[in-house]
Amino acid sequence: MTWASLKVSQQPVVIGFDLDMTLLDTRPGIAAAYRALTARTGVHVDADLAVSRLGPPLRTELSEWFPPESVEEAVRMYRLLYEEHAITPAVPLPGALVALAAVRAAGGRIVVITSKLGRLASLHLAHLDIPVDEVHGDVFAAEKASVLRSIGATAYVGDHVADMQAGVLAGVPVLGVTTGPCSAADLQAAGASLVGPDLHAFPAFLRGVISVGRPGSDD
């Protein structure tokens, strides 16, 4: 995909953001929730390992530790523990608030699209007093692409190779940030339009996205 192939300029600006390790560092709270789950069930979950590979759905991680017949109950219990243990420790990642302000300054809409349950994602955002326009939870990879299409997204921002794939599938440019588990090379290989060390890269990315295809633009 090239920048010039993307037709975005005539539409309102709608930016999709992944949540975990893109906007928020949720690792300390998630680790606490996994440790509480281990204390409750007696089933060992390596919390540090689990938070080193955030992105895929919860069931994927819990399937690494629980027998198949126990995964659904572990999911249910983890989500109860999450609310108690994982919300308050989360903090915005570098550049996150700057990025969201840039969307607002462009008159755009902010849509969070995450594999986390929408209810839990909304609790994080409310706790940190971060207003967004929409939250779409419980989606991953190609499901994120469906959301991006349905909201008429201008671009997507994420930290996981599956986020890059979602953007490519939806035909929108994607900013990859290396604040999560994936390397710049992996994000580029998965289709990132641009990769940055964190969301301080977002304002320049947004300017590029908005200028593409604008009448009279040389891009």
What residues line the site for Mg ion (CB under 5 A)?
18, 20-22, 55, 159-160
Angle at which helix 142-150 crosses helix 161-170, to 10 degrees, equals 40
Q: Where does 52-134 have alpha helices with state H?
A: 58-62, 71-85, 96-105, 118-127
Nearest distance from C-beta of residue 177 to Mg ion, angstroms: 9
Our CB check for Mg ion shows the closer of 87 and 106 to be 87
Residue environment code for 30-63, b if the CB has 16+ CB neighbours within 10 A, otherwise e: bbbbbebbeeebeeebebeebbeebbebbeebbe
Nearest distance from C-beta of residue 134 to Mg ion, angstroms: 17
Our CB check for Mg ion shows the closer of 27 and 85 to be 27
Our CB check for Mg ion shows the closer of 154 and 179 to be 179
Nearest distance from C-beta of residue 22 to Mg ion, angstroms: 5
Our CB check for Mg ion shows the closer of 157 and 212 to be 157
Nearest distance from C-beta of residue 98 to Mg ion, angstroms: 18
Tell me how far apart the alpha carbons of residues 103 and 155 are, in angstroms, rounded to a whole number.
11
